[in-house]
Amino acid sequence: MSDSSLRARLEALRKQLHEHSYRYYVLDEPIIPDVEYDRLFRELQDIEREHPEWRSDDSPTQRVGAEPLSSFSQVRHETPMLSLDNVFSEQELRDFDRRVRGRLDDGQAFHYACEPKLDGIAVSLLYVDGVLVRGATRGDGRVGEDITHNVRTVDSIPLKLQGEGWPVELEVRGEIYMPRQGFEALNMRAREEGSKTFVNPRNAAAGSLRQLDSRITASRPLEMCCYGVVASDDNLFSSHSGALAQLKRWGFLTSVELAVVDDIEACLAYYEQLLSRRDQLAYDIDGIVFKVDELALQEQLGFVSRAPRWAIAHKFPAQEEVTTLRDVEFQVGRTGAVTPVAKLEPVFVGGVTVSNATLHNLDEIERLGVKLGDTVIVRRAGDVIPQVVQVVTERRGDDVRDIVIPSCCPVCESPLERAPGEAVLRCTGGLVCAAQRKEGIKHFASRKAMDIDGLGDKLVEQMVEAGLIDSVADLFRLEQAQLSGLERMGEKSAQNLLEALKKARNTTLPRFLFALGIREVGEATAGNLAKHFVSLEALMAADEEQLLAVDDVGPIVASHIHSFFATDHNREIIRQLREQGVHWPEERIEEGEQPLAGQTWVLTGNLESMTRSEAKEKLQALGAKVAGSVSAKTDCVAAGANAGSKLKKAEELGVKVIDEGGLLAVLSGQDKT
């Protein structure tokens, strides 16, 4: 590329980056994912590195951030809140380590502090005499926005410091973020209300903090985790990790994942270890931050114009990417719900190649305003199905086409209907529809339902297409000769499946109810129904008023349950299942036999004597509520082998922890806990 072309590309990159920074920091309306911004920024860096004479003070590479919002009063940071340089490969991280060692005296020992890079909003909290007096956003690193009225609503931010020994003036820095569970609940509520949804948890956190009405902020599930401190007494701390430990004692939330290591090899091992657990974390992270732990050495290493020399962010593979929407297919689920699935130009995101993503329902298609041929942002985070979250309308061409909504089922050609007030299209074909049969059988066989080992999705599809099964009851009539004739199904595999079906006949009432696939009846509701009615016969005979007396059952769910058991076909399938030997113990647990009533428990790690699902059922039978995450309200955590972040959080919060032996003692009645 000629110098003139390269100079033109440089100017174009600067213009783009300024625009994207304004949209990101000021308007809170980004039109590209972070990974795309990072690519543009690095391209500009490379050009300026090649031609240092072209650098200018107004280049995005020479700035910390963007201008703050004008709707809030401004706050000047006495100590600038600088950003971090990023690396994206092992070699780049090793180069950072080499530069650090090169700036220190030969043989000078030091450590690295390692912690997850939370994907949230950086804030500064000022405490005077131990009392919170100001909260501010990072802004452009030198001037931020005063959001004191909003940060005061975040439960994990102390209004008054605990303990003693803090300096007269203390500035604490950290990240305010929205946990995944809270984010999904917030967006679900927004969809139900027909209001705007957020693209990702970071945008949700930003939008929540930039509310002029603090009552809105208070309604949002925000948390704050500290990552640094500026104190009036420079000699108060000697290390970064020591400072965070002290902040914890003063009442701040710090990362349970913080680790201090000796060298770059340990840093790389930490990166790989946390990357492997990324999907299991309760919050989004987009990389790891490595800092020289010793504060005296941090001071010695100093800063460049926009970032410290003693810290680096090693970014994870992107969870958002830009791609093209090629087509939309409509897939039929077990309840007849027809879901639009985006067929994408394949793109690598979240560590895998994604070619399909959900569009949720018709309302979501309308909300997004998406068309075939559009450039879209697709997101994949954790175990969440990849989803189209935004249309990049600025890149829309003249050749885009409207998505055609079908009027008939794509599988059985039965009419589709849309109930008043619902966003979902449904096939009216019922069990005439092969797709509904397949999905219903898959659900029935799944791990949390009847747990039929070896009965995978592809095998179910084979058996339905071969005409071996039309309903879940047919599973228990299968014979070895029928199974052995299927593709990739030998005699041994067929025998193993028959043994699994024999084992599955002995189940529990909650599992059986969940396996039936009644609309809106999940695991918890199935358990509540079983506990309330004790017997299947009593449940099947209940009217809607009686169903409303069950915990967690409202009018809509009661209607679905009553309609299910009032349908002749469903009653016949249940009769056939019982005839084929499907059974469970029917024992009423007296109130006096529920020593754990009112308690919240969490299970983590691997148990040797039973599965976690079995342990959950036993705890629930004793009256306990079994939650999926640890909080200050958790009464006890039962930790098996290789317990991870849940155990750490329990220890962090001072929650009671017992091992598997202690759990068995509780379940046997030897320990009333």
Residues with catalytic roles: 117
Report how far residue 513's alpha carbon sits from residue 483's, in angstroms, rounded to the nearest whole number: 27
> CB of 495 within 8 A of CB of 465?
no
Residue listed under structure tokens 């090629």: 326
Vertex 348 angle, CA 344 and 349, to 5°: 95
Cβ atoms within 10 A of the Cβ of 648, count?
16
Report how far residue 82's alpha carbon sits from residue 307's, in angstroms, rounded to the nearest whole number: 5
DSSP reduced 3-state for 596: coil
**Which strands make up the sheet holding 311-315, listed edge to edge?**
86-87, 311-315, 285-292, 112-118, 259-261
> CB of 521 within 8 A of CB of 491?
no
The length of the chain in residues reads 673
> CB of 334 within 8 A of CB of 440?
yes
Cβ atoms within 10 A of the Cβ of 555, count?
10
Can you spell out the DSSP letters for 468-509? Answer: S-SSGGGGGG--HHHHHTSTT--HHHHHHHHHHHHHHTB--H
Residue listed under structure tokens 């450039």: 375
Cβ atoms within 10 A of the Cβ of 589, count?
13
Sequence letter at residue 626: V
> CB of 319 within 8 A of CB of 154?
no
**Which strands make up the sheet holding 131-137, listed edge to edge?**
131-137, 121-128, 169-177, 223-231
Over its C-alpha atoms, the chain yields an Rg (Å, rounded) of 29
The H-or-E segment that residue 375 falls in is strand 375-379
Report how far residue 169's alpha carbon sits from residue 357's, in angstroms, rounded to the nearest whole number: 50
The CA–CA distances, whole Å, from 614 to 518, 608, 621 equal: 22, 12, 11
> CB of 409 within 8 A of CB of 332?
yes
> CB of 439 within 8 A of CB of 337?
no
Beta strand extents in 169-284 (DSSP E only): 169-177, 223-231, 259-261
DSSP reduced 3-state for 421: coil
Sequence letter at residue 382: G
Nearest to 384 by CA among 196, 206, 184, 523: 184
